[in-house]
Amino acid sequence: MAVALLSSVLPDSVVAVACGSDDDAGPLHPSEEPAVERAVASRRAEFTTARTCAREALAALGAPAEAVPVGDKRAPVWPDGVVGSITHTRGFRGAAVAWRSEVRSVGIDAEVHDALPRGVLDAVSSPGERSMLSALSAARPEVSWDRLLFSAKESVYKAWFPLTGRWLGFEDAELVAAADGTFRARLLVEGPTVDGVVVSAFEGRWAVDGGILVTAVALPAR
């Protein structure tokens, strides 16, 4: 179920691997160990499982199933020619990878499908976005739209960062979500130039199943 959920929000050019527990996690590569050498057991377990998912995804893609260490700015470091993203939350760990020749950047995020803690929505959204969420909630109250907005912006950031090496705040993108499982994030800051074109927005997809909400952004090569 976990793999199907994550794959449902990604194009065919992206390989996804996901699982719902840490039972089958493999050992960490020595270069991955420093990221969790002082971590509590639960953090180490989710990190290890997510790296196992990443190596399985790399193997399925046909890339070297090697280490995926953490870079200087906490982002995963992928093998040459590969783009990817990793996510983990309670009951879900996943990774998505693609060849850079086909996809320029990818970002995924998984969240427990529940309302955000009190006060968080105001910190991560604009008045216009909150108005949009109110309308969507009236139409489809079974969806935690505030959590979806948070997750979508996380996916946008994960797609943005490898292209720019820069921070992107929640206030730096205006999200428009739709009940059909899509969303669009318009950048409110200067976007990166990719394949000779300035990126002004990121398109993505979302899905919910089994108490888990997933979002994804994949920027195709032109």
For residue 203, the cross-strand partners are 184
Number of H helices, E strands in the chain: 5, 10
- 32-41: pLDDT as tens digits: 999 999 999 9
d(CA 83, CA 104): 7
Return the domain boundaries, the chain: 2-102, 110-220
pTM confidence score: 0.96
DSSP output for 16-33: EEEES-STT--PPPTTTG
> So what's the pLDDT on residue 52?
96
Half-sphere exposure of 120 (CA within 13 A, CB side): 12
CATH number for the region 2-102 comes to 3.90.470.20
d(CA 220, CA 73): 24
pLDDT lower than 50: segments of the chain: none
> So what's the pLDDT on residue 62?
97
